[in-house]
Amino acid sequence: MSSRRSLVTGGGGFIGSHLVKLLQENDEIVRVLELPDVPLPATVEVVRGSICDADVVRKALKGVQRVYHLAANPNLWTLRKSDFNLVNFEGTQTIFAEVAKHDIEVVVYTSTESILTGKARRNWQVNASVERTLSEMPGPYCRSKFLAEQAAFKAAEKGLPVVIVAPTLPVGPGDRLITPPTRMILDFLNSKTPAYLDCGFNMVDVRDVAKGHILAAEHGRVGERYILGNENLTLGELLHWIEEITGLSMPKQRIPYWLALVAGAISEFIADYVTHRPPRALLTGVRLARYPMFFDSEKAVRELGFPQNSVRQALVDEIEWLLSNGLIMRSLPFPHRRRMLYRSLKAGFTNK
């Protein structure tokens, strides 16, 4: 077994859980810093607590050679808006402050594609060299992640071995916490979204993203950002894929941006001041959808060897996982259900 010990903050999340699995397959000793209520495999070292607690972070870093900092609040809405800044920005500052006191080979910081988009022209692809400003960020989540990424760049300038990765929308099996991209797909599958705002985005297999983190640790240049993405799609194209895979009808009616913006504003107002529950329409999500979020991952492919596995296959794997976990409420037409069941059984047999 390798003597390297790697710390994964947020190792119980969607990307984090795949990263932990891959590190263990590489015979590394894996330590996870995670909140108390998040389930983790029994095969990892566990430190429970918050990345905002310097004592907890210090304990988690003891004896570690590599750090993968994924922990964040990934939701686009929270009742207390200050939570985004506390966890995503101040928590990241705490990580870097404590890392500076230890002999760490490399820190891979997980940023997000949502802070890189702007008033882009249609079919224009954002690359890893893009620079944005705080005033361009469309909501408290994006502002907190923008500030955290700036802290990562500054830490690298001060001599910390920090490499930055920015995943696009991950798709694939195992999203136990149901992050926003999975929630979007699940709502369409369950007919909770009767119409859609057509928009452009980039999707990537979550397992490739996990591999990309390790490749960034091994081959990434300190102080550089790498976009971990794959295929640029419109939401209409994604819905067509889902319909073909499942046989379930997807919404055909599009809504204009202005109507989605109004619906998002009303929905968040009700969530903030009445229900205190997550809104049906996310205002930040609507604002992000105003301009195409198409990305170019050529730098990660060229410098890191970042894989580009089939996004459609990852979507099939995610839908199979959702189906097997009883999260899809609609019944699939028999031929589609039989085909997906056969695929699941075959995959289970070959993975034994």
Max distance between CA atoms of the chain, in angstroms, equals 59
- Enter the tokens of residue 41: 């495999």
What pLDDT does residue 351 have? Answer: 39
What pLDDT does residue 282 have? Answer: 81
What pLDDT does residue 80 have? Answer: 85
Q: Give the count of alpha carbons within 13 A of 68, CB side only.
A: 33
Q: Counting runs of H as helices and runs of E as strands, what totals does the chain give? A: 13, 12
Q: Give me the sign of the Cα torsion angle 80, 37, 176, 187.
A: negative
- Enter the tokens of residue 197: 């705002």
Q: Give the count of alpha carbons within 13 A of 243, CB side only.
A: 11
Q: What is the pTM of this model?
A: 0.91
In the chain the beta strands, taken as DSSP E runs, fall at 5-9, 29-34, 45-48, 66-69, 106-110, 162-167, 169-171, 195-196, 200-205, 225-228, 231-234, 253-254
Token look-up 């419109």 returns: 234
What pLDDT does residue 121 have? Answer: 58
Read off the pLDDT of residues 99-139 as tens digits, 9 standing for 90 and up: 999 999 999 999 999 999 876 555 678 999 999 999 999 88
**Rounded Cα–Cα distance for residues 59 and 238 (Å):** 43
What pLDDT does residue 70 have? Answer: 98
For 346, counting Cβ atoms within 10 Å of its Cβ (0-12 exposed, 13-18 middle, 19+ buried), the class is exposed
Q: What is the DSSP letter of 317?
A: H
CB 141 within 8 A of CB 73: yes
**What domains can be seen in the chain, in order of their start residue?**
5-249+286-350 (3.40.50.720)
What pLDDT does residue 75 have? Answer: 84
Phi then psi for residue 24, to 5 deg, are -65, -35
Query: Residue 30: beta bridge partners?
Result: 6
* Order of all β-strands in the sheet with 225-228: 45-48, 29-34, 5-9, 66-69, 106-110, 162-167, 225-228
**Rounded Cα–Cα distance for residues 205 and 229 (Å):** 8
What pLDDT does residue 54 have? Answer: 97
What pLDDT does residue 150 have? Answer: 98
pLDDT beneath 50: ranges in the chain? 349-352
**Rounded Cα–Cα distance for residues 208 and 313 (Å):** 12
